[in-house]
Structure 1
């Protein structure tokens, strides 16, 4: 087992061991204190031996406290919300490198896991620049199977753009608790079946910068890089993985099915599962804007601000009325539910918040370039799961996307559910995750069986 001594300051590696810079005089290459060519005064020799003994004892204690299978060279992240603020500049490396981690407890953790981690890792933004992304890692309990725990990278549905909406921050006061708490029991079942479940927060959600909502490639990079980071954290995780997500995350999963194999160096993506995946977004926005007296869509503020984060040509202020500009600031403070509250965005008509005379072509172009799920070219088997009566992600658009993929020869299996009761729209949309679980389990176990 390799153990790294992490201290405030530089470290030196000597014959596989690392020493803080202040113990540099212990470096055997510069004269070993235990029989060195360098002459040391006896008191210094005793002090050096004492320092070395203390350092080694401390290292052994630290190593003994690490969970089994954990890579002991990982830096422990700071407590509290400081965890989400990465070092500046980022440590040198490549996408998928782990920055730091710490043990996770509470509502964001998976009860069935042998260990839960909160992680911060390197990824890549739309411009190709290195960024830090947060997420969680749940490793099954017990002895890892031969080949390691198979991995599911979960891509979550819409929670919001504000940092408080990051699912890894789930706790008693988490704003979108009904959604995340409704999904977690399903994910916990995957852990019970012997899959490590990784949950990215996505770029800019919890971490610095604006979350580029519905930027498919950004989401896909976050979903792939957390697998690389988790394997650095725990070598008992397999290189074989499935990406699976719902709504926004369904879109993310399909984008990952295109880039995950090439982008995930050393990983083997076995398939993708898209549950109620968002598609044809530019077309839906254009249709919605024509309905000037219709109720304002609570997703529109997130779409506009998210696209502006990736496409500077989208000037949000110009797309809004004075009332719209007054309300749009909520995206940086609250989560999705805040837009549906009385007095919020959803309380107004489109023509009250959207500037009918504005040029929406840059927004539509950004959606076509960054969010056109139907134009993705999956390179791995794909499972799509959809409720026919979903009023958030309409089955008509999913059907069009599925047919397009079939025409391209994609290895695809599609299930459309007609038996989900007509709950309020958001509940039908979310209920699809639970309703589709048996089909998801059957398909995933065919493409990435749990190992015994």
Structure 2
């Protein structure tokens, strides 16, 4: 069979799947009884599994993926310390060998939305309708970790209400998702399973909260390293930078989420926001990020307020809120590789410089790589080979590189990056065609069980 015939055959198969998906379309989170917590939720320990189900994963909801996937509902904690139910999607390669020791990758998706269709537990499933979801785009890259034989946990780190930008709780939900994954027998993990963390942009922000909260909230987990890309650093600064510009869609999405968490913000908006501004927040709350950005470009939140925006942002309760959102107030105890475009048009490099400085003042081990030629949207795919290799080294226990800051022309200057991009392209092709992810990559790049014991 030729490659063209193979593609045609798979397109026909996908068309057949599309015709039958309607009856099996996953329920939106607000309508899904699986997500309803038990009445006695508070008696469960954080990370305790409440219920599980097997699910099917689909690229953009259409192309069935040949992976083993489950969803775990578990007990977690919100930013105020109250018990809540959270969900993670856990994955293995379809042909995973139970006799091989494997790490767990906690992938933090750039959900960047309050809209429920953008929750990873929905957007990743076969039959999901989530146009504009970033999670669906990231799947092409995350599959590279599965191809290495790793287990993966992708938590809905924004929680059941889409709390984009909230402090602390993305870390709690992700850490409890790791606890649940380690306790889920089909993944064949154990208490000393090495855990790697990876997130970019909004996912990098969530990954930052994960490593910041881990020492106090989940000290028993063996987190061996984290790669954080463009992790926001200071949401207040980023809000001011983006407001009124090309990427002005992000500020109202975050405001729509945060007003539910900060009563002072909610009262201010009720008092100061005009009717058009309320409509703007409603659009932002209902939209996937890739659809909200073109629709809200150039919008200035100050245009919809009765007082100047600078005056409002200077009020004590607003300064206190943005101080609460700022990363770097807690010190991670795992090695960190932080990657940032120097000319990032979304997350200004100075916000990340300052996050790194706060980590280092606390004694964290941070390797900081600043890329001159990449911009916000290109660095994630270009840095994926470097990311997976760096995490593989931490999983294998190889010596850490000397921490420090390097400003380079591009992550592609290393020849291994080109080889990695070729492998990433092969993986993406297999994902697009719905083919098995293992088989062309050799054995997983992880220690054997006896070495990890």
Deviation at 1:89, TM superposition (A): 4.2
Deviation at 1:265, TM superposition (A): 5.5
Please say if residues 257 and 379 of structure 1, whose CA atoms lie closer than 8 Å, have aligned partners that are also in contact: yes
What SS does structure 2 have at the residue aligned with 1:378?
A: coil
Please say if residues 261 and 269 of structure 1, whose CA atoms lie closer than 8 Å, have aligned partners that are also in contact: no
Match for residue 196 of structure 1 among 148, 151, 154? 151
Residue 182 (1) aligns with residue 137 (2): yes
Match for residue 270 of structure 2 among 317, 327, 336? 317
Residue 270 (1) aligns with residue 224 (2): yes
Match in the other structure for 2:39: 88
- Tell me the TM-score normalised to structure 1 length: 0.71
Match for residue 184 of structure 2 among 222, 233, 237? 233
CA distance in 2, matches of 1:178, 1:128: 29
Deviation at 1:438, TM superposition (A): 2.2
What SS does structure 2 have at the residue aligned with 1:328?
A: helix
Match in the other structure for 2:395: 448
Match in the other structure for 1:353: 304
Q: Which has the higher contact order (CA 8 A, sep 6+)?
A: 2
Residue 125 (1) aligns with residue 90 (2): no
Per-residue Cα deviation, 1:40-84 (whole angstroms, up to 9, x for no partner): xxxxxxxxxxxxxxxxxxxxxxxxxxxxxxxxxxxxxx9x83323
What SS does structure 2 have at the residue aligned with 1:436?
A: helix
Per-residue Cα deviation, 1:269-308 (whole angstroms, up to 9, x for no partner): 112211111112223334566xxx7568211122223222
CA distance in 1, matches of 2:220, 2:162: 27
Please say if residues 227 and 337 of structure 2, whose CA atoms lie closer than 8 Å, have aligned partners that are also in contact: yes
Per-residue Cα deviation, 1:84-110 (whole angstroms, up to 9, x for no partner): 333334373111011111111132699
Please say if residues 214 and 306 of structure 1, whose CA atoms lie closer than 8 Å, have aligned partners that are also in contact: yes
Deviation at 1:166, TM superposition (A): 0.4
Structure having the larger proportion of residues in helix = 2
Provide the aligned length of Structure 1 versus Structure 2: 357
Match in the other structure for 2:116: 163
Please say if residues 115 and 288 of structure 2, whose CA atoms lie closer than 8 Å, have aligned partners that are also in contact: yes
* CA 1:111–1:267: 2 relative to 1, 3 Å: farther
- Tell me the TM-score normalised to structure 2 length: 0.71
Residue 402 (1) aligns with residue 356 (2): yes
Return 5+ residue gaps in structure 1 as ranges: 1-77, 421-427
Q: Map residues 4-19 of structure 1 onto 2, 5 A cutoff.
A: none
CA distance in 2, matches of 1:325, 1:219: 27
Match in the other structure for 2:279: 326
Return 5+ residue gaps in structure 2 as ranges: 1-28, 397-445, 449-453
CA distance in 2, matches of 1:447, 1:117: 26
Please say if residues 136 and 168 of structure 1, whose CA atoms lie closer than 8 Å, have aligned partners that are also in contact: yes
Over the residues paired in the alignment, what is the CA RMSD in angstroms? 2.9
Match in the other structure for 1:308: 259
Deviation at 1:349, TM superposition (A): 3.8
Match in the other structure for 2:234: 280
CA distance in 2, matches of 1:412, 1:368: 22
CA distance in 2, matches of 1:276, 1:220: 17
* Stretch moving more, 305-314 or 279-288: 279-288
CA distance in 2, matches of 1:417, 1:340: 24
CA distance in 2, matches of 1:350, 1:252: 25
Deviation at 1:180, TM superposition (A): 2.3
